[in-house]
Amino acid sequence: MNGHFAAVDNGNGSSPDSNAHNFEHGIQVINEDKQYNTNLNEYLNETHVAEAGFNYHLISVFGSQSTGKSTLLNHLFGTQFSVMSERERRQTTKGIWMSKNKNEGKMADNILVMDVEGTDGRERGEDQDFERKSALFALATSEVLIVNIWEHQVGLYQGANMGLLKTVFEVNMQLFLKDKQNQTRSLLFFVIRDHIGVTPLANLRNTLIQDLTHIWSSISKPAGLENSKIEDYFDFAFAALPHKILQPDKFISEVQKLGSRFIAGHRNKDSDATDDQELTGGVFLPEYHRRIPADGLSIYAEGIWDQIVSNKDLDLPTQQELLAQFRCDEIAREVQIAFDAAIAPLEEQQAESTRAGKPAVLPDLGQIGAEAREKCVKNFETQASRYHKGVYTTKRAELEDKIDNRLKALYQAHLTAAHKAGVTAFSDAVTNAVKAGQKAGGAYEFAEIVEKQKTKTLEIFKKEAQSLAIPGVAWSNFKPQYLIFEKELDEVSARLRKEEMRRLAIRVERWVKSRLGDAIGLEFNKLGSGRGGSGAPESGEKPATEKDIWDRVWKAFISIVGEAESRFTDRAKSFEASDDEVQVGLWRLRRKSWVALREKIEEEVMESNILMKLRENFEDKFRYDEDGVPRIWRPSDDIEGIYTRARESTLGLVPLLSRFRLTSTSAPPDLIEFVGPQPHGVEPGDEEDLTPIGGVDEDEGKSLEEETTILSEPKKQDLVVRFKKMADGVYVEAKRSAIGGITQ
């Protein structure tokens, strides 16, 4: 398309390099083939108008061919629009040219001037298609329309330029057809050329206004706008210029005066007049501005021109919405570049660390994220808020959504990492502190360690979560994650406490075993003394008999277990174990203690051990008299009788020892009562390492009778046989010694 356009018609042809446009002489916005030049935006960028927001103005000039329009613009604005050569008098091409005012200083900022060529086709006997299209284009975009007119044409109502004005008025109605709420107006600025001075400007003005009103009443108005008045759409301003050739100096000075009017102005209070006598300051009234941000002007103008060229009804509100959508998307993409530059490396880092299985806690994430977000949204707001409000609001929400989703993902993963790291740190710290406490002799308070580490770990997480908070952004409140983290720490604490309970249980069980070893060993050792079952009865204590060995064993056992239970309870309470946990621990302890007791008894009744005890018991009865004095056997002694009594007495122990029975009930101890019901806090893991107990764990198929049977029937018989053999040996030896005593 570039090929169709000349950057400037300055006789040198267009620049050979189509990428580097020479905009020195402005830009052809619409060419003679009615094509739009998309390089306009480039031109606006080059001239720094694009960055001006609403601080720019657009002026178009209209008028018959060769009325000095381009000459006027070039003098007014320092532009270089092509002027018909005096000598050649050749026809200038059709098209619309644009140039930025180069005489800035005393005039408003960023005035863009459009030189509409080839209008007034009627003058040349052409069809008026281009005239209508360019008029519509100019009206849709320009604040001020300069109508260039010879003085001698004023009052010639049938004159050609009046036809042009008629066109302007008619196409103007089209603009308001779709947009009845449109509040924008335009200024028709009549510049009367070759003013001789005989007729004062005021008279020319009156004549023109009469003509305009006349033309207005003659045009056909669309339905709904039949009663509209010319003042509803237009203000008028007037100026006269002397003959450029005949009065060159005066022409220059008047043009300068005219130029000074291109500044901001306002309407006099309470005035609804349309005449420039009611305007103060310059010609640029805020209500003339089309409110198209400069960086969207090119796109907007293109859309307008497309509609005009394809003869569609010009729908400015829709065009403005389309423009807003296009530009907001563009701006959103632009502002996201900086956001991306700040955030993408963090996303990459996070993804990498997650892949490596070590999710990273990214330093300064909250600050970087909040800053990137704020910048991005602010930049978008600055540029995009100039566009259609509804579109802007939607697009802003879309943008926020997009960047927030990225930040959210980043923050969530970050907190997940912080969560993981925190749990590990907490667990390690507690474990290490416990280890250190154990090393230092076990004087540590588990509950204190947990509390201290929990506070510390929570504080770190809280700081991390708070550092991510963005003021006024609801999703960045991570309190729920904090609460989840706290809950997990409590779970970990419970697990660690359970481990601590296990360690405590093991210590207490060891203690029980060791105490049982001593106490039960002592009771069985007493069997070795066969006289009445009592060794040397301690003073005050009822002499123990062999018959109540199980009562004594059970009593010792109950006392040891009772002491162990209170030790366990005290310690468990100190680290704030729950009642349930304590009950489970005690239940386990009682069961393990019983098993330990059984093991100890089994050790005592192991063949060699029990045989030795029986032998000692027998020998004590056989070899010593009632007073504990060793017997010296004489042939006259009733060795056989003593032997038989001692043997039978000792043999009587075997059935006694073979079953754990209490004398008070002649029954086994009530293990069900001792162990107690299973507490409801028991979890599967709590039972795994427990040995089943007959009569207590019913489904084990082992009865209490079996559980309390110490010597099985075959073992018993075997023991009796062995004992008898042993006793026989002792008897024979005694017999021999008695005979030997006589022969001696």
Q: Which one of 65-73, 267-275, 286-294, 352-360 is the stretch in contact with ligand GDP (CB under 6 A)?
A: 65-73
- DSSP classification of residue 269: T
For residue 89, the minimal CB distance to Mg ion (Å) is 13
Task: Give the count of residues interacting with ligand GDP (CB under 6 A).
Answer: 17
Of 325, 289, 322, which Cα lies nearest the Cα of 306? 322
For residue 23, the minimal CB distance to Mg ion (Å) is 19
CA–CA dist 309, 415 (Å, integer): 58
The smaller minimum CB distance to ligand GDP, of residues 103 and 545, is found at 103
Of 557, 585, 543, 589, which Cα lies nearest the Cα of 668? 557
Q: Count CA atoms closer than 13 A to 447's CA, side-chain side.
A: 8
- With the C-alpha atoms ordered 452, 456, 458, 459, is the resulting torsion angle positive or negative? positive
For residue 374, the minimal CB distance to ligand GDP (Å) is 51
Q: Decide if 108 contacts 262 (C-beta within 8 A).
A: yes
- Please name every residue paired with 236 in a beta bridge, in sequence order, or none if there are none: 188, 275
Q: Identity (one letter) of the amino acid at 373?
A: R
Task: Give the count of residues interacting with Mg ion (CB under 5 A).
Answer: 1
For residue 202, the minimal CB distance to ligand GDP (Å) is 21
Q: In 310-364, where does DSSP find H-type helix?
A: 316-355
Per CB under 6 A, which of residues 86..115 are in contact with ligand GDP? 86, 92
Which residue's beta carbon is nearest to the bound ligand GDP? 68
194 binds ligand GDP (CB under 6 A): yes
Distances (CA, A) of 352 to 339, 365, 410: 20, 16, 13
For residue 113, the minimal CB distance to ligand GDP (Å) is 12
3-state secondary structure of 469: coil
For residue 163, the minimal CB distance to ligand GDP (Å) is 16
The smaller minimum CB distance to ligand GDP, of residues 198 and 742, is found at 198
Per CB under 5 A, which of residues 170..229 are in contact with Mg ion? none
Per CB under 5 A, which of residues 14..73 are in contact with Mg ion? 70
For residue 218, the minimal CB distance to ligand GDP (Å) is 26
Place of tokens 């009611």: 278
Residues 63-92, mask of contacts with Mg ion (x by CB under 5 A): -------x----------------------
The smaller minimum CB distance to Mg ion, of residues 69 and 327, is found at 69
For residue 142, the minimal CB distance to Mg ion (Å) is 17
Among Mg ion, ligand GDP, none, partner that 678 touches (CB below 5 to 8 angstroms by kind) = none
66 binds ligand GDP (CB under 6 A): yes
Instruction: Tokens for 356, please give them.
Output: 């490596």
- DSSP classification of residue 221: P
The smaller minimum CB distance to ligand GDP, of residues 196 and 558, is found at 196
Q: Which one of 222-230, 238-246, 522-530, 545-553 is the stretch in contact with ligand GDP (CB under 6 A)?
A: 238-246
The smaller minimum CB distance to ligand GDP, of residues 152 and 229, is found at 152
243 binds ligand GDP (CB under 6 A): yes
Among ligand GDP, Mg ion, none, partner that 548 touches (CB below 5 to 8 angstroms by kind) = none
3-state secondary structure of 236: strand
Among ligand GDP, Mg ion, none, partner that 481 touches (CB below 5 to 8 angstroms by kind) = none
Which own/partner contact pairs does 576-584 have at CB distance under 8 Å and 24+ positions apart?
576/447, 576/497, 577/497, 577/501, 578/681, 580/679, 580/680, 580/681, 581/497, 581/498, 581/501, 581/681, 583/679, 583/681, 584/679, 584/681, 584/682, 584/686
For residue 312, the minimal CB distance to ligand GDP (Å) is 30
DSSP H or E segment with residue 193: strand 186-193
Among Mg ion, ligand GDP, none, partner that 86 touches (CB below 5 to 8 angstroms by kind) = ligand GDP
Phi, psi (deg, nearest 5) at residue 145: -110, 115
Q: Decide if 10 contacts 25 (C-beta within 8 A).
A: yes
Q: Decide if 161 contacts 63 (C-beta within 8 A).
A: yes
Among Mg ion, ligand GDP, none, partner that 34 touches (CB below 5 to 8 angstroms by kind) = none
Among Mg ion, ligand GDP, none, partner that 67 touches (CB below 5 to 8 angstroms by kind) = ligand GDP
Among Mg ion, ligand GDP, none, partner that 245 touches (CB below 5 to 8 angstroms by kind) = ligand GDP
First to last CA, the chain: 150
Among Mg ion, ligand GDP, none, partner that 243 touches (CB below 5 to 8 angstroms by kind) = ligand GDP
The smaller minimum CB distance to Mg ion, of residues 70 and 134, is found at 70
* Residues sharing a CB contact under 8 Å with residue 6, sequence separation 6 or more, in sequence order: 13, 14, 28
- DSSP classification of residue 125: T
The smaller minimum CB distance to Mg ion, of residues 70 and 174, is found at 70
Candidate residues 31, 39, 47, 71; the one interacting with ligand GDP per rule CB under 6 A: 71
Neighbour tally for 425: CB within 10 Å? 15
* Residues sharing a CB contact under 8 Å with residue 580, sequence separation 6 or more, in sequence order: 679, 680, 681
Per CB under 5 A, which of residues 592..611 are in contact with Mg ion? none
According to DSSP, the β-strands at 186-193 and 234-240 are: parallel
Among ligand GDP, Mg ion, none, partner that 39 touches (CB below 5 to 8 angstroms by kind) = none
Q: Identity (one letter) of the amino acid at 266?
A: H
84 binds ligand GDP (CB under 6 A): yes
Of 519, 527, 537, which Cα lies nearest the Cα of 656? 527
The smaller minimum CB distance to ligand GDP, of residues 79 and 476, is found at 79
Q: Decide if 210 contacts 156 (C-beta within 8 A).
A: no
CA–CA dist 638, 591 (Å, integer): 51
The smaller minimum CB distance to Mg ion, of residues 116 and 417, is found at 116
Among ligand GDP, Mg ion, none, partner that 296 touches (CB below 5 to 8 angstroms by kind) = none
Instruction: Tokens for 464, please give them.
Output: 């991390």
193 binds ligand GDP (CB under 6 A): yes
Candidate residues 2, 65, 325, 678; the one interacting with ligand GDP per rule CB under 6 A: 65
Q: Which one of 82-90, 346-354, 364-372, 474-482 is the stretch in contact with ligand GDP (CB under 6 A)?
A: 82-90
**For binding to Mg ion (CB under 5 A), which residues are involved?**
70
**For binding to ligand GDP (CB under 6 A), which residues are involved?**
63, 65-71, 83-84, 86, 92, 193-194, 243-245
